[in-house]
Amino acid sequence: MDYQRLVTIEPGKRSGQPCIRGLRMTVQDVLEYLASGMSPEQILEDFPDLTIEDIRACLAFAKQLS
């Protein structure tokens, strides 16, 4: 997956952490929700600005770093 079009890094936003599509939601936020046991469907329900593709982009970004 090409996460680069969905994961953005802006120095003035969230201290330069990787965010989703310029939103204030960070990749780390999404990964922590998943790690805590939330399903992708629960995350999408709680954060309607996100898409399943955004969640997949977070996972792809994390995989690239490992």
Structure confidence by residue, pLDDT tens digits, 4-53: 999 999 999 999 999 999 999 999 999 999 999 999 999 999 999 999 99
Q: Which residue has tokens 């399903």?
A: 39
Domain that holds residue 52: 3-65
The structure's pTM equals: 0.92
Helix (H) or strand (E) segment spanning residue 28: helix 27-35
Count how many domains the chain has.
Answer: 1
pLDDT for res 39 = 98
What is the CA angle 45-49-50, rounded to 5? 70
**Residue 8 sits in a domain of what CATH number?**
1.10.10.10
pLDDT for res 65 = 87
